[in-house]
Amino acid sequence: MITIDDFTLLPEGSRNTPDGTVVRCPLCGRNGVVVHPDQAGSYCIHAEESELQCDGMRTDPTDCCSLPSFARALP
Ligand SMILES: [Zn+2]
């Protein structure tokens, strides 16, 4: 079973995802959730696909922006 989460539909500042707070993307102006994976740039995820598998939940971003690295240094 595949579930699509569309973060662009969520209001800015809402926290109903485990990943973080919904913010406005500095690149495209839509709402999304910013993630900071180790050893990689930041991403603003606008939509992701979750599939429940026998060994756990698999999540793939289907629509995201790569944020410039300098954005990580900003408060
Ligand atoms: Zn974006």
Nearest to 21 by CA among 9, 33, 29, 11: 33
Surface-to-core class of residue 22, CB atoms within 10 Å of its CB (0-12 exposed, 13-18 middle, 19+ buried): buried
What whole-number distance in Å separates Cα of residue 37 and Cα of residue 6?
A: 20
Helical H runs in the chain? Answer: none
19 CA to centre of ligand 1 in angstroms = 16
25 CA to centre of ligand 1 in angstroms = 5
- CB hemisphere CA count around 20 (13 angstroms): 15
55 CA to centre of ligand 1 in angstroms = 31
Which 3 state secondary structure label does DSSP give 66? strand
Each residue's pLDDT, cut to its tens digit, for the chain (75 residues) gives 899 999 999 999 988 667 688 999 989 999 999 888 776 678 899 999 999 999 999 999 999 999 876 545 555
Q: Where are the domains of the chain?
A: 2-67
